[in-house]
Amino acid sequence: MSSSSSPFLVVPDFDSTRRLLTPTLPPESSGVSTATLGLSEDMLAITNSSSTQPICESDEDEPPPDPQNVTTLTKRILTDVTYFWRSFVLILTPILLAPCLISPDSTYRCAFCVSLMAVYWVCEVIPLPVTALLPVVLFPISGILDAATVAKEFINVDKSICNIVNVQDTNFLFIGGLIMAVAVEKCHLHERVALRVVTLVGSQPRWIMFGFMSVTALLSMFVSNTATTAMMVPIAQSVSDQLLKSYRARRSRRSTIEKRPDNEDILVHRIEIVQDLPSTKEETDMAKGLIICICFAANIGGTATITGTPPNLVMVGQIATLFPDVDTDLNYLTWIGFAFPLMVVCLLACYLILLGFFLRHSPPADEEAANVMRRRYDKLPPMSFAEKSVLCCFILLILLWMCRDPQVVPGFGEFFPRGHYTDATSAMLVSVVLFALPDEMPDFICHTKRDRVSTPKRRGALMDWKTIQAQFPWSVVLLLGGGFALAAVNSG
């Protein structure tokens, strides 16, 4: 082969190959077929290809993309951007502004916070009042201002009148805890937890009371006492009503009266007499005990955490106001360390006292009451996306509170200047996340290009400002602020 020949192997077509392999025979041998040479058309079929066909499959070019599929995919992307542009702005804005946080100069970090709030305010990706709360989170985390100073600016009070710097920080801690509690109530997560625990305690009245008190105290550690009581009382009421109904029906059934005629061979007639009798004193006392134990357990359970009840926050604020130069190391975890054991002791003591007053002669166990709770629990739908999301946020908030400064080992609060990151910062951070996360799985995440058959649906958030306006106890926040202001004036 000459140097000018092509370096590629060219396979001749079928006719050329057949002429090459079939010899020229004399006329007398014209009856010899190609089969005599052991060649068949099947064997030669592999050469039935054009000279431009590649030998190996790997050399074959991929088929060009279908223009229709490309158009459909582009249309879906544009539809997602149109429907979920607020979500894209919410996520991409801090990512695009993140280089400002690298600079050691606080001016650039402040520019990040201001730009982020400006974009969120203009686009309204989250409610405007929630965007206004971002400085409580961003300034302490970025090291611009400490949490107490930022909180003070939300209620600008002249220091010559009263110094309530730490007081407002405590108020924001309480506000964040209340927002978390309202989110739990909105998705009915607390009802699922309560019914699940109550179904595990059995049908004995004394164990039902123990289950009610345990669940109420547990929920009251993180949810306000009023909300916990309002949720648990209807459950206790339905159980007590079912118990009273079962006990009355059991006592109303008299033993059968047998009537024997003269003929011994005739079957005995059984007559059942049913009377509607009132409840006895023991049954009424049992019903009273099942209701009143909810109130006691809610008050006792709230003492276990700082955010469990307003008096705890009042004490923390009073200490910070009256003794500003004293480092008490009082935080969420240290409070639980000394308050939770006391709560358990008080709860057990209250349970024993209520047993003596209301269930000293309690009626026997009744499976029907337990079945009522099981049926109510079985009627609950599967755990929704909102419940799972709120549960994750709730666990995250508890971990942030406990791990900021656990005292035993250094916490993540050591990464921030002293006093910048507080428990109020964690509370407000999770609160803002609740307003940003959807209450259902968004379409552009859970749908693939095959099962997308309709336009996507806009989802609501785990928490919205309308719910906050309707269910948030603003009066408690104002009550705390007034008490803190009086303490500051008296200390001065």
pLDDT digits (tens, 9 = 90+) for 205-217: 888 899 889 989 9
Q: Is the pTM of this model over 0.75?
A: no
Compute the average pLDDT of residues 476-484: 72
What is the distance between the alpha carbons of residues 372 and 246, in angstroms, rounded to a whole number?
11
pLDDT digits (tens, 9 = 90+) for 423-439: 888 889 999 999 999 88
8 A C-beta contact, residue 96 and residue 78:
no
What is the distance between the alpha carbons of residues 399 and 220, in angstroms, rounded to a whole number?
18
Which residues contact residue 440 at a Cβ distance below 8 angstroms, ignoring those fewer than 6 apart? 384, 385, 386, 459, 460
As a dihedral over the C-alpha atoms of residue 112, residue 118, residue 121, residue 127, rounded to 10 degrees, the angle is 20
Compute the average pLDDT of residues 464-471: 88
* 122 pLDDT above the threshold of 80: yes
pLDDT digits (tens, 9 = 90+) for 369-411: 677 778 888 888 999 999 999 999 988 988 888 788 776 677 8
State residue 411's pLDDT score. 81
State residue 364's pLDDT score. 67
State residue 56's pLDDT score. 45
Distance of CA 308 to the CA centre of its chain: 20
- DSSP H stretches of helix in 200-331: 205-220, 225-252, 281-301, 310-322
Which residues contact residue 298 at a Cβ distance below 8 angstroms, ignoring those fewer than 6 apart? 216, 217, 220, 225, 228, 229, 232
Residue ranges of domains in the chain: 14-59, 72-165, 168-491
* 114 pLDDT above the threshold of 60: yes
Compute the average pLDDT of residues 29-58: 45
State residue 213's pLDDT score. 92
State residue 434's pLDDT score. 93
